[in-house]
């Protein structure tokens, strides 16, 4: 039998004791730090049956959320204290600014691409690091228990096989997120050997003096893919009545598609997406998100319940996180100004006047037109610990894998194989799904906005190059060659990549995945922040080049103090002032480039 045991500190990973007690089931209560340390080793939890292994995996998903700090690191969020134009393109185009406070100093640090030192909460890099490595250690316990059970004569049953697959997929997924946050994006096998990776932990951590190498991005991806492919061989849905909260078969294939896409294995990505979506367009639309139930929603909780519904076919896997991302988005750093205009509010051939994307309005946008917006899919689900006192825990369910996002990932992979007709069909089907309203809403929005279906001709025309209405288009995608010298998007394919960029920015909004896209595509962007002075507002602009070391977020300070190699050069920890503001460009022109 295997016993769960953790030393009081994982020195090399910088994890403190309160975060490392693994829950076996809801009935095995987590103790306080002092209680835990007071126990003798013989009081450790034993894993002696396959049911206990399955129950351990049930409690072994990460509870931190990378959405907020990755959004702050992307081009989706702006500083409302900096000078900016209004969201409404029909309003007077006068620069304005506010004097707002942030939800915490950690937001200031993240927005300015500084190491986040002031907090290690669930919505920070430090919280993510701890939560994900705790999860990794937990699934390593499960894998060790499976090996021990088999060694002691237990049969490798279908239940144990499925548990092994789930554990390997969780381990792979956690390292995949960690490497995309704390390292540079994958480039090529040779180029990525020069970029620092993250510790890939495959053994149970039970000592305080182990040292863990970060290796490189190439090596990290090899291990991610090895776990992924072994997990795919084993995964099944037999262990759970509610598989949407676990790595089920569809979620496993969707995850595989994402990994292969990021690793430039285009055909493999397409094949994995086909395992979920199929190849028949007639059967595809019902698998995409159904907006009709949103008709009956009035409040944030209502919208959150629809978006995060496990019975919605498109939701392939949900992860419960402790997160206040919705609250954090109501302060200084928001999706306002030209950021909101780029994502929601602009003219387009799919609607015939200057207005927001109809799907965004139906889905539930919250905020004011001056201060910014956030979508209903990040709404909280609050768990009261004391209703009288009004206290408890804020949960946000991450829709980590969806059929709708998977369709866009398949479209991108098809573009890179030269299948532009197939990519066009996927992109047009995606847009069709954003009009998958109730008949009542279709009548309303069709009358108000002149909604039209997206066509291949529209893609070739409106997405052909950068325009004043479409801020997500490029005249060419030659910047991809910085990431991979052989990564070429032909002139014919440029409109389709622009369309992918356009829809992915909307679809992944407030999930943090926009930051991953900016990194893996090598896109340059800017952050502008304002400082109020006695003479007015002073704007500073940070330029994020394709190879800026700060694209790899810094690991927690306690991990560095324990001896782990930092993500960024030492000079960046004291000097993060690579600011630039071309004199010929206004603030908003600059940040939209």
Does the structure show a pLDDT above 60 at 43? no
Predicted confidence at residue 589, as pLDDT, reads 55
Average the pLDDT over each of 14-23, 393-402, 505-514, 567-576 and give the range with the smallest value.
14-23
What is the end-to-end Cα distance of the chain in Å, rounded?
58
Residue 395 CA to residue 149 CA, distance in Å, equals: 35
Q: What is the mean pLDDT of residues 358-368?
A: 86
Q: What is the mean pLDDT of residues 442-470?
A: 86
CA pseudo-torsion sign 227, 519, 316, 50: positive
Query: How would DSSP label each residue in 258-319?
Result: HHHHHTT-HHHHHHHHHHHH-S-GGGTGGGS---GGGGG--SHHHHHHHHT-TTSTTEEEEE
Residue 208 CA to residue 10 CA, distance in Å, equals: 5
On whether the CB atoms of residues 149 and 38 are closer than 8 A, the answer is: no
Residue 136 CA to residue 163 CA, distance in Å, equals: 14
Predicted confidence at residue 469, as pLDDT, reads 77
Assign 22 a pLDDT band (cuts: 50, 70, 90): very low
Assign 538 a pLDDT band (cuts: 50, 70, 90): confident
Predicted confidence at residue 353, as pLDDT, reads 63
Assign 441 a pLDDT band (cuts: 50, 70, 90): confident
pTM score: 0.91
346 sits in which H/E element: strand 345-348
Q: What is the mean pLDDT of residues 146-150?
A: 96
Residue 73 CA to residue 576 CA, distance in Å, equals: 14
Report the percentage of the chain scoring pLDDT > 70.
Answer: 87
Residue 551 CA to residue 559 CA, distance in Å, equals: 19
Q: What is the pLDDT of residues 542-585, one digit of tens each?
A: 999 999 999 999 999 999 998 999 999 876 644 444 444 443 44
Helix, strand, coil shares, percent, the chain, to 5? 45, 15, 40
What is the residue-averaged pLDDT of the chain?
A: 87
Q: What is the mean pLDDT of residues 245-267?
A: 98
SS3 at position 168: helix
Q: What is the mean pLDDT of residues 313-326?
A: 96
Does the structure show a pLDDT above 90 at 4? no
- What contacts 568, CB < 8 A, 6 or more positions away? 115, 549, 550, 552, 554
Does the structure show a pLDDT above 50 at 471? yes
Q: What is the mean pLDDT of residues 341-363?
A: 84
Predicted confidence at residue 182, as pLDDT, reads 98
Does the structure show a pLDDT above 60 at 26? no
Predicted confidence at residue 56, as pLDDT, reads 94
Q: What is the mean pLDDT of residues 460-465?
A: 94
Alpha-carbon distances of 275 from 183, 257, 298, 500, rounded to whole Å: 30, 10, 36, 21
Assign 447 a pLDDT band (cuts: 50, 70, 90): confident
Predicted confidence at residue 407, as pLDDT, reads 98
């Amino acid at each position: 039998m295997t016993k769960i045991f953790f030393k009081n500190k994982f020195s090399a990973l910088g994890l403190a004791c309160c975060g490392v007690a693994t829950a076996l089931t809801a009935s095995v209560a987590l103790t306080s730090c002092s209680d835990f340390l007071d126990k003798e080793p013989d009081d450790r939890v034993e894993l002696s049956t396959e049911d206990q292994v399955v129950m351990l995996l049930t409690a072994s998903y990460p509870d931190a959320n990378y959405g907020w700090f990755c959004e702050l690191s992307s081009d989706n969020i702006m500083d409302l204290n900096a000078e900016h134009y209004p969201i409404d393109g029909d309003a007077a185009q006068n620069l304005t600014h506010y004097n707002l406070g942030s939800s915490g100093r950690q937001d200031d640090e993240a927005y300015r691409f500084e190491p986040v030192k002031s907090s290690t909460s669930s919505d920070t890099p430090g919280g993510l690091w701890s939560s994900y490595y705790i999860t990794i250690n937990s699934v390593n316990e499960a894998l060790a228990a499976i090996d021990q059970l088999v060694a002691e004569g237990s049969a490798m049953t279908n239940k144990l096989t499925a548990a092994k697959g789930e554990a390997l997929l969780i381990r792979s997924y956690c390292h995949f997120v960690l490497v995309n946050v704390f390292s540079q994006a994958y480039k090529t096998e040779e180029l990525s050997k020069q970029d620092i990776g993250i510790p890939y932990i495959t053994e149970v951590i039970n000592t305080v003096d182990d040292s863990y190498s970060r290796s490189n991005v190439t090596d990290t991806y090899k291990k991610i893919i090895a776990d992924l492919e072994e997990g795919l061989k084993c995964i099944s849905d037999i262990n759970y009545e509610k598989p949407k909260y676990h790595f089920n078969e569809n979620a496993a294939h969707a995850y595989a598609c994402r990994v292969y896409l990021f690793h430039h294995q285009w055909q493999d990505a397409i094949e994995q997406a086909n395992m979920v979506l199929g190849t028949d367009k007639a059967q595809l639309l019902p698998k995409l998100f159904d907006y009709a139930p949103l008709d009956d929603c009035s409040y944030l909780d209502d919208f959150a319940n629809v978006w995060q519904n496990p019975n919605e076919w498109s939701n392939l896997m949900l992860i419960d996180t402790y997160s206040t991302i919705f609250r954090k988005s109501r302060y200084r750093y928001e999706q306002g100004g030209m950021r909101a205009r780029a994502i929601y509010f602009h003219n387009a051939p799919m609607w015939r006047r200057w207005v927001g994307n109809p799907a965004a309005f139906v889905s539930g946008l919250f905020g004011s037109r001056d201060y910014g917006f956030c979508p209903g899919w990040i709404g909280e689900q609050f768990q009261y610990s004391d209703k009288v006192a009004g206290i408890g825990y804020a949960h946000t369910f991450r829709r980590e894998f969806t059929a709708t996002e998977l369709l866009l990932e398949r479209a991108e992979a098809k573009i890179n194989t030269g299948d532009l007709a197939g990519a066009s069909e996927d992109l047009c089907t995606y847009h069709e799904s954003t009009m998958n309203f109730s008949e009542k809403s279709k009548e309303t929005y069709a009358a108000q906005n002149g909604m039209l279906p997206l066509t291949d001709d529209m893609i070739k025309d409106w997405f052909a190059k950068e325009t004043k209405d479409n801020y997500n288009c490029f005249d060419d995608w030659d910047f991809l060659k910085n990431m991979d010298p052989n990564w070429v998007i032909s002139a014919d394919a440029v409109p389709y990549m622009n369309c992918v960029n356009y829809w992915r920015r909307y679809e992944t909004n407030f999930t943090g995945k926009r930051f991953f896209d900016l990194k893996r595509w090598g896109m340059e962007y800017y952050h502008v922040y304002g400082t109020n002075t006695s003479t007015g507002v002073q704007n500073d602009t940070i330029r994020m080049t394709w190879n800026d070391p700060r694209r790899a977020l810094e690991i927690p300070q306690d991990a560095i103090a324990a001896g782990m190699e930092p993500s960024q050069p030492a000079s960046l920890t004291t000097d993060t002032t690579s600011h630039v503001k071309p004199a010929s460009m206004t603030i908003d022109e600059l940040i939209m480039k």
